[in-house]
Chains A and B, each alone.
Chain A
Amino acid sequence: MEDKFDCIIIGGGIAGLSAAMTLARNNAKFLLIERGEFSGAKNVSGGVLWGEGLSKLVPEYWNDEDAGFERYINHRRLTFMDGDSTFSIDFKSESFNEQPYKGIIVLRSKFDNWLSEKVMEAIEESDYADESFLAPNILVEEVLMDGGKAVGIRAGEEKFYADSIIIAEGVNNLLTRQVGLQNKYVPADALAVGVKEIIRYDQKVLEDRFQLNGLSGMSNEFIGTATQGVEGGGFLYTNKDTISFGLVLSMISLRDSGLKPYDILNEFKAHPVLKDTLKGGEVIEYSAHAVSTGDMKVMPKEIYSDGVLVAGEAANLLMNSGKAIQGMDYAMHSGILAAETIVEAKTKKDFSAGTLKNYRTKLEDSFVLKDMKNFQGAVDFLHSKQMFQTVPGLVCDFGKQFFSIKNEPTPKTREMLSKSVKKHSSYWELLKLGLKGARSL
Chain B
Amino acid sequence: MIAVLGLLVGAAVGLLLEPTVPSVLQPYLPIAVVAALDALFGGLRALLDGTFNDRVFLVSFLSNVVVAALIVFLGDQLGVGTQLSTAVVVVLGIRIFSNAAAIRRHLFRA
Q: Is B truly associated with A?
A: no
B residues at A contact (CB < 8 Å): none
A residues at B contact (CB < 8 Å): none
